Amino acid sequence: MGSFSIGHWIIVLLIVVLIFGTKRLRNMGGDLGSALRDFKKGLSGDEANPQLKADPPVGEKAQSETKRENAE
């Protein structure tokens, strides 16, 4: 009486799928996985911020190049 059998878990799983739907569960699983990955990366001491190394968006890059050309 204290533990659930496999039948109980199947019923619970079916109810969860009916309530949330498979697409939403997949999205939640992906979000949870990326959150855990980021958490592990933070614990490992990898402090490199990928956003700082990224190229600026095309519009900003074009504007900065135009400013440089006008300055010359």
- What's the CA angle centered on 13, arms 10 and 19, to 5 degrees? 140
pLDDT for 15 equals 93
Residue 62 · residue 54 · CB < 8 Å: no
Q: Is the dihedral of CA 57, 53, 47, 30 positive or negative?
A: positive
User: Which tens digit of pLDDT belongs to each residue from 34-49?
Assistant: 999 999 988 887 555 5
Q: Is the dihedral of CA 65, 67, 69, 72 positive or negative?
A: negative
Distance, in Å, from the CA atom of 26 to the CA atom of 52, rounded to the nearest integer, reads 30
More confident residue, 62 or 38: 38
Give the rounded percent of residues in the chain with a pLDDT score beyond 70.
60
* pLDDT for residue 58 is more than 70: no
